[in-house]
Structure 1
Amino acid sequence: MEITEDWVRGLTGWKPFKEGKTMADQGLVAGLKRSADGNLIQGTMREGKLALRPIVKIAGPSDVNVQCGCPDHRATGGVCAHAVAVLLSAIAGEKKPAAGASPQQAAKAPAFVPMAWQVRLSPRLESEWLEGKLSVRLLPAAGEPITAADAAISAWLADRGQAASGSAPLALRVAGEDAAALLDRLAGHPRAEIDGRPGPFRLDSDPGPPLRLADSRLEGSQVSLDLDPGETRRKLVRWGSSPAFVGAGTAARLPAASGRPGWFERVANLASQGKLRLPVAEFLADLDAWLDLFEAPHPGWLGSLRFASADPDFVLDLEGSLEALEATLSVRYPGLSARALPDPGDDFPGLPAIAPDGHLQARQIDAEEAARHLLVIAGFEPSQRRARFQLRGRDAIFGFIADDLPALRQRWTVREGERFATVLKRVHVVRPEIEQKADFGSSLAFELSFQTTGGQRIPGPEMRRLLGGGKRRVTLKSGAELVLSRTCEELFQPLVSEIGIGRPDEEIRLSGAASILFQNLREKLRNPLSKSSSDNSNKNEYEIISNAGLKAKLRPYQTQGSSWLTDRLNRLGGALLADEMGLGKTLQTIASINHFKQHSSEPAEPTLVVAPTSLIGNWLAELERFAPDLKCLGFHGTGRDRLRDQISGVDVIVTSYGTLVRDLAFHLQREYRLIVADEASLLRNPDAEISKALAKVRAGGRIALTGTPVENRIQDLWAIFRFVAPGYLGDRKEFKERYEPASTDPKASAGLLERLRLRISPFVLRRTKEQVAKDLPDKIEIDEWLTLADDQAALYASLARSGLDELERIREQQGEGAGKMHLLTLLLRLRQTCVDPGLLEIPGRKDSNSAKIDRLLELLGERFENGGKTLIFSQFAKNLRRIENRLQSDFGKVFCLDGTTRNRQSLVDAFQSEPGPAVFLISLKAGGYGLNLTAADAVVHLDPWWNPAVEAQATDRAHRIGQTRPVTVYRLMTRDTVEERVRRMQDRKRALIDAATGDGDDSAPMNWTSGELEGLLR
């Protein structure tokens, strides 16, 4: 394949690419060799006293394997700077010798001819390896295919001047860095043996399972670690920067690595003695490596440790003129001095650290990047130094002073140099002011004015003249500059016009949504950093409702949300709860419904909940769980006609969108107390039958629930508001003309979207996980119960029935042991049916529908709109590949890792650095440990696992150190199936559940009796 610089840049992070490009530009790559097919590239480099021979094997556009002896590659397994240098040198055709190597030496390197090899390891392998040595004999394997490991060995030999020819064997004795480099090339070799021992010997290319802890304790300034007694205590050997175990037929690294001195020796002591005690500072310095080393969930202190990102303060230094402005950004963490913003990989002295409250404080890389981004969107150009920025041009600097600098002053400490402070004295920024004059109960009185930063009031007619002239900046006779803030022309004036205020110079009186809008606009003008659509969630302008009769302990933000819903329904008759997924929109709505029921003095009409078919069961279960006093009715399915007479006696009716359309004539004859539209983004097409039907049904109040109120275009919001607040946003054509430019004109989008957010703010409450989680990110776990699709349910019933019939025959003819094996096979097939019937590959049968896959696609659609990254775990690798084939570009970039994946770390690095939404499909055995995927903040488990600890291990790929956002964990499960019974039995017998085999497979817990297994089916 063709190698380009952009392709190389996409393989790794910005820092390795930058360093590698510098190496290539300086000609530090010598002995560059490339195989005939162009897919294997090797170079020679020196770094201090270290001789490096990076090799890059290209298997596909996103499948690249690297062999390099540098600490960075050994720690991460990713594409290091030296590999980047080799690739870029290959592009440029560079053949320059490395520093310290003469052209004659480089020319002596023999030609690179890949060969197939038989590998013979020393019978003293373990003892030699403990001494840091390695003895290997290589014999040509005539007639065998040349593998990637063969090619890597051949290239390594050629670079050392030891290429073989014909059938002559090679005897190698290497030590230190050379031994580690050779081990990397022998990893995964299919023809390796130990001399004198029968059978093959495998050096695993993938890490083995982590160690199990029995206990961990924090004792003063010391950390104590105890290994599980069941762990075999063996001596560890060093494989690069990783510890490794050597067994009779295999050697495997542990899934952790650290380049810090002393770490390997500490792990070796722990493995040999079963206990380790070390200073907490030393433990924290290698925390990520320790977490990778141990199996989750971690017992003792380590398991109870809660991570919290230290809150950074930023300091912005500004110096310059109206022609050029220089900015320096520094960061200061609690108890530490400020530092010019360092690179993400640089150490920050003092972090991580144990805070007085026991939490582990870590550096907030995301917050640092967000701070840099604020300067970039303000127009500053970043320099090579991460902390330095430049802004040039009078118009750009005037705009920064008027619009961005006030907001930054509220967020950061801003310090002006002497020259820039003098400039600011000559610039007067004009901003609108709103003052609330009186509260008349049902209405509020406001007064509008315009003032400069110097306190001078400008009359309204003069402001209209300036705005009407299209000028934003006027030079006064004194030489001072008068600059209009962007809020005047893009926010304030258009909103005043939309509300219909004809004479803004006089006191105005507003009621209903308009009065709330003006309160939010006033807050926005005073606090530019506020998010207008959620400001009112933080103000006690509404009564906090009681939760009598509600069987749930609401989080504070959920109490606020349910109280806000109740207030908006009472005052405005409608509300859109747009909280991010996983924050409990359903529970908050149930709390509000329950409140109306509890405070109603006389019988009232029921509440109608309309939801997608897949969520009807979930709504009924949540209502029964949290509000058992409410009488609920599922109004769905073919037998619903006989339920019509029962409606008058219930509190909540749950139906589907499709059923509502079919029963519209019936619903139009009624008026409901409330209508709740769940997943209200389904209403986004105003011409669709479900959207038109729901808008016609009469109700005293209307609630829309969706985490993605805008999916494709701005007009999605108009369709939802036609249900929530009919007429509030004007007619459809008027709304399109006013706000559609935000979808097509990037320059207009920021101001228009802010105006729209303010316009809808009286009806909308939106909170994100970041806003409600003040601590280490919470792990929010959601068990979502689904109902099998009709054809899926029929297949499940048929398999269960025929399987149980066959069970009796097998027991009679072959005995109880054969019967148990049949049960396990049947359970597997039923579990596959619950996930996706297509996994069964039944001849002649077309793929059935899958409730889980349909729900998964809905979730991923919402995640894509929120720009999130998602991990999806399944024990069935084939299921992941089927899902991968269904996911298109509108779900973000898709990655997949299963037992056949060879480039694990490259995939991880690409996922972590992907700038947009992404999906990572991961199989249990391949990805349950050893991966750090903190770029994801949602995990989906497609099938319940027998061992809850394995599930926790997988979830902790995202919920771990470095994660600064709450992680939402979804378990998709099906009602009335083996999955529901497995879940219940796990709750009753959690202590008895164990992994099926020692290698972490999830086939079934072998300590369950046949009776227990059969109980899952009956």
Structure 2
Amino acid sequence: MSRPGRRQSDARQNASRPQRGPEDLMAVIARGVRDVQVAVDRRRVTQSVRTKFQAIALLVREEHARVQAQQTNRQAPRSEALKRLDGIATTLAKTAVRDPGLLALLADDAAVSDEVRSLTRDMQRRAGVELTPEVTAPPEPAEVSLVAERQVVPQSVISRQLSNPFLAPDFSAAARPSAPRIRRLAGWELLTPLLNSFERASSGATACMALPAPGVRQLRGGRELMPHQAQVVAAAAEGHRTFLLADEPGLGKTAQALLAADAANAYPLLVVVPSVVKTNWVREVGLWTPHRKATMVQGNGDTVDGFADVVVVNYEVLDRHVGWFGEFGFRGMVVDEAHFIKNRTSQRSRHVLDLSKRIRLRTVRPLLMALTGTPLINDIDDFRAIWQFLGWIDEAEPRTELMNSLEDVGLTPAEPGFYPSARQCVIDLGIVRRRKIDVAADIPARRIADLPVELDDKVGRSIRAAERDLAQRLVARYETALANRDAEPTEGIDHELVSRVASWELKDADSAKTGENVFTMMRHIGQAKAGLAADYAAQLARSAGKVVFFAKHVDVMDTAQEAFEKQGIRYSSIRGDQTPTVRQRNIDAFVKEPDVAIAVCSLTAAGVGINLQVASNIVLAELSWTDAEQTQAIDRSHRIGQTEPVTAWRIIAAQTIDSRIAELIDSKAGLAARALDGSDVEISSSTDVQHATLVALLTDALTASL
């Protein structure tokens, strides 16, 4: 404890010193930067050092924004202040690179602790700065939603950030929607009526916004757009910024998206795609916009070019990169095969929707494009996630632009005229749907030809026996359920109970590890057809030229390839487990080498995004579960550039459940036609062919027993 005399002496000395006024804020910041540098040099980066580092970062951003916004006739002092701040920011950024813990604190969405806020206020007080609440305000929820999921930041992206370090994003110019004019529709639930308006579409009611006349069609390098492609580019050039580009497969959606982005100057542009088409998108950038540079995100992004105009990433690795994607400053986003996000609860859908939201918050009228030739896979509800990505709706209601359009209609969902008008309001926001028959008359027609094959006696008998066993199991479940319920017996077949029994069986089949079910039966049928399908493909290759062979399962592909090797037929293999480089090399071999006669393709891995129009004959060795998947496969050949009629040969195992499934697939094909093309084809709420197959199998068995 010090003595009273000592305290009096200290007080006299302090009184004799000149009283120091507030320090210059730059001096306070500079001294803090030096303290942090010393700690990093000595490798003593404690929590207090990190707190000081982040407080300085906040002050630099605040001061830079304040100085930049100053209205003054004295430009020299303002420029000098900005230059000093940029120098401090550069020093901070270089220091942060040496310590990962510091680097993470530079993110716009880094959490700001109470200690950081307190130190920031103390540093401002020392500099005599009037405190403002904005400096210490926490980040907006939309900006921090993905903090926990941030995993990697490629070094090249850090280099790009360092080239213009530390400047706070300026969101002041970002478009803020005006308040909706809530009047007539206040309190109405609108999303369900909007979706229903597409199901209720009358015959001939197509789904395509009004498009301008085609603009420039001749491009640099001699490439030429078709008129329907040039219309979308012209719409983007005129200021339209959201598109659900739902052209039928094969009409060149990739080119339209890239050139629309160029017309809108929507760079940097983020493109989210299935992995099998990632390489192709980078190639297409070089073909259609050669003055723009594309980079592909692989794994952790070690090879990413942070200075590229177009960043292409596949759905599978999106979760590793959402952190820096959200801060990169994208001015446009394209989602290819947008039906991949139809399940809004899936991780990839949540990432896509969150990135879209962040881009809309940060950018003045960004370009958002959802590309899919098959926007409806199961039912009309598949539209929800796509509309949400485009910013037309939120989780529960239309957003401002759509809401105001609906208000202008002057009707409520209780009035019949609401539905066609509401549908048109959605279409006008940017739905573009063209069919080949409408816009590409020079593309030859396609047809699907079923080729029934008889299975080997032993194999055929085995499959038919398994089918009978499955039918008997279904009948037993039906009869047990019928006997155990309290209700009065139903005259004839109880179709509601049939549907429930089919659902029980399907659920058991999904979780079963062993035993025969509808899925294992279809796989056995595919294996049994493999040799026959390969023989037919070889016959076609000899007589008609190149052939594309599609199968669902690897063992079916293996059997076909063995058959082709025995017959001396060269082939290319396109599978899901290949690297993008290998896959593209095999595609190029089939397309460019005359003696490569057959492309053996995985129905899931090669059914989207690749161009195989050098072949006009397709062999579908196994049936898919949806018409959309089948259509996607056929349209690898039936697309722009095709010069001959395209025939898809479906190999059907006669006298088996295979035939019934083919019929069900065809019967479910009207969903997209009804919703988008105004067709009169009846549709159901779901294309659950597995369930319908079991219903048909049980119904047939019960009918036979009556």
TM-score range, shorter chain: 0.3 to 0.5
- Using the size of structure 2 for normalisation, the TM-score is 0.37
Higher relative contact order (CA 8 A, sep 6+): 2
Bigger fraction of residues in strand:
1
- Using the size of structure 1 for normalisation, the TM-score is 0.27
Bigger fraction of residues in helix:
2
